[in-house]
Structure 1
Amino acid sequence: MARTKHPVARKRARSPKRSDASPSTPRTPTSTRTRPQANGQQGSSTQRQRKKHRFRPGTIALREIRQYQKTWRPLIPAASFIRCVRMITQEFSREVNRWTAEALVAIQEAAEDFLVHLFEDGMLCAIHAKRVTLMKKDFELARRLGGKGRPW
C-alpha cells in the first residue's frame, strides 16, 4: 500500500469567554462561517475566515538563533543571576556577602560563555551520534572530552 499524506485535522475556533454582566447586549455568533442552507445552496465564500499564516517547523527557531547571535547583551536576566550568585556565596562563606557590579558582570559573562561552549560541544556529540536531540549523555561526554571536571 502506498504511503500518502493525511489531511491536517482542523481545530474549531473558540469564541472568547464573556461575562454575563451586561444582558442588554444581544448575543451574536462569533464565527463568520455560514452553514449550508437546507435547499443545498452554499453561502458566499467571502464570509469565510482566512487561515492564519504558519511558518514551517524550524523557521522561527532559526530566526531566533540568528537574533541571539547578533545581540551582545547577556541572555540570563541580571536580577535572577545576581540572586543565584548571592545564594551560592552564602552557602560557601558567610563573610563574603558584597559584590561589586563589575565582578557580577564578569561572573555572568564567564558563566554564559561556559554554557554556550558546553551546548556547542554537546550538539557536536549529538550530531556525531546521528541524533538531533540533545541528551544528558551528550553534555557528559562533552565535559569529559573538554577536560572540564567530572560529569554531573
Structure 2
Amino acid sequence: MERDRISLTVPTHTDSPAQQVVQYAQNKDPPSRPLQNRLRKTLFIAMPPKKRQSDVVRRKSRQSDVQPGDPIPNRGKRRYRPGTVALREIRRYQNGTDLLLRRLPFSRLVREIAESVRPRGEAMRWQSQAIQALQEAAEAFLVHLFEDTNLCAIHAKRVTIMQKDIQLARRIRGVWGGLG
C-alpha cells in the first residue's frame, strides 16, 4: 500500500490527536493560539495502490520469463559466520585418532630422506609398521609444536600464529625439541 503525506499544524495542548485529525479533516479553523504553542506534525494515511498499465505489463512479462520445465536456479552455498567452521574442525580433529597426513606421500618422503643418508647402491627396505610408527611420531611432534606456537601467539596478544611464534617455541624447547 502506498502512503500519502498530509502536513498539518496542530496545537499541542488541545484535544486528543484523534479529535484534532477529525476536526481538521472537516476543514474547521483551528482556534487562534500563539504561534509558539503550535507543532507541525505529519500524518500518514494509507491509500490503496494505484494500478498502472506498466505494472500489469511487467507482471505478465515476469510470468512469461519462467517456462515450465526450466531448471530451478541454485540458491548458492550456505555461508557460516567466521570461526564457526574452524571450531567445528577443531572438535572433529580432537575427537578422532586417525592420522592426518596421507600415508603414501609420507612414506615416499621417508624413503627419499633415507636414500640421501645411505651410501649409493645400498637399498633400504621398510616395514609398513615402521613407517606408521614414524608417521605417528612426526604427527605428535607437529601437534605439540603447534600447541606451543599457539601459546606464543596468545602471549603476544594475537590470535593468528606466525613464523616467529614457531621459531620461539622451537628455541624454548631446546635442541631435541621433545614432547615433554
Give the TM-score normalised by the residue count of structure 2: 0.55
Amino acid at match of 1:130: K
Matched, 1:118 2:145: yes
Distance 1:52 1:104, change over 3 A: closer
The partner residue of 1:71 within 88, 92, 96 is 96
User: Could you tell me the percent identity over the aligned residues?
Assistant: 51
Distance 1:61 1:125, change over 3 A: same
User: How many residues align structurally?
Assistant: 111
The partner residue of 1:98 within 125, 130, 134 is 125
Give the TM-score normalised by the residue count of structure 1: 0.64
Stretches of structure 2 that go unaligned for 5 or more consecutive residues are 1-52, 67-72
| Greater percentage in helix | 2
Stretches of structure 1 that go unaligned for 5 or more consecutive residues are 1-37
Residues 125, 142 of structure 1: 8 Å contact kept: yes
- Using the TM superposition, give the Cα deviation of residue 51 of structure 1 relative to its aligned residue in structure 2, in angstroms: 6.1
Distance 1:96 1:49, change over 3 A: closer
Aligned CA RMSD, in angstroms, stands at: 2.5
* Bigger Cα Rg: 2
Give the aligned partner of residue 22 of structure 1: none
Give the aligned partner of residue 39 of structure 1: 54
Give the aligned partner of residue 30 of structure 2: none
In 2, the alpha carbon distance for the partners of 1:97 and 1:86 equals 8
Bigger RCO of structures 1 and 2 (CA < 8 A, at least 6 apart): 2
